[in-house]
Structure 1
Amino acid sequence: RTVDRPATRSANHPVARTRRRAVRGRRVGWRTGGPTRRRLYEASRDAYQAALKENGKGRGSEVTTEIRAAAEFADGQVFYYAEDYHQQYLAKPGARPYCSAQPQKVSLPPFESWAPKELLDSYAPKLPEAFWKAHGPKPHCVIRSPNEPIKWP
């Protein structure tokens, strides 16, 4: 469990170093990584935006998720975890009525069509297309899905 992480603490402060190591496994993937990962995130965002437009979906002219490099933030201000009662929100009893997840019914185009060519081999998808056909987003899938992990051959 992470306690507070004041922005005024130096990253070299012993407590800050300990906490950073303690939460390393809980970080959000797109909030870590260098320029290579950033290129993948931006390429996938652009490909999905194009697919949304092509299918007449989306709430505006562009996807509104902002992707910024960690280097653009002062040390210790890159990411903050929400309060405990927000963690694993959809898995908690009684939380489902408040879920507003609405899949757009538009899939990201095949990885090979949008990924930077030099990153195709090292970042290829680990799950086959058959997995996504069986378990991909469906209307109300978040609300009506079981909480157990999916077993895949």
Structure 2
Amino acid sequence: METAYTDAAGRTDPDYLDLGSGDLGGTTLGPGLYKFRSDVDIPTGCTISGTSSSADMWISQVAGNLNMAANKRITLAGGASASKIFWQVAGYVEVGSGAHMEGILLVKTKGDFLTGSSLNGRILSQTAVNLDSSTVTQPPHFGRILAQTADILV
């Protein structure tokens, strides 16, 4: 986990810097490296769109916290895969009640998934993960995709 966290955090030359000033509500994210120098909020749903190509990958470097509002969701489109979405978060992650998150969360402090929330991916934290009647589902082909991207992350 620490190797993947350090790798993701150490990437330079982002494709996007402080997109939406950290407000991802209503946005569509294409493949690339996203750098946020503050908190990231998802107050309404957002979409992650790309193809199933092995070249399509999403890495978000978040210097602060990642907060997702209750009953909102991240939607995958065009063949995007949760196995190739990485959220490197220096603070904490909070996914609100009934919300749905996608991707692999690499969290410095803690991850809180509130009542009825869900994740298609993995949450790895250096301190704590708190699940309150939450569901975490491993994405299809998770091991195969990670093996293919082993030279990229981890």
TM-score using structure 1 length: 0.22
Question: Based on CA coordinates, which of the two structures has the bigger radius of gyration?
Answer: 1
User: Which is strand-richer, 1 or 2?
Assistant: 2
User: Which is helix-richer, 1 or 2?
Assistant: 1
Q: Which has the higher contact order (CA 8 A, sep 6+)?
A: 1
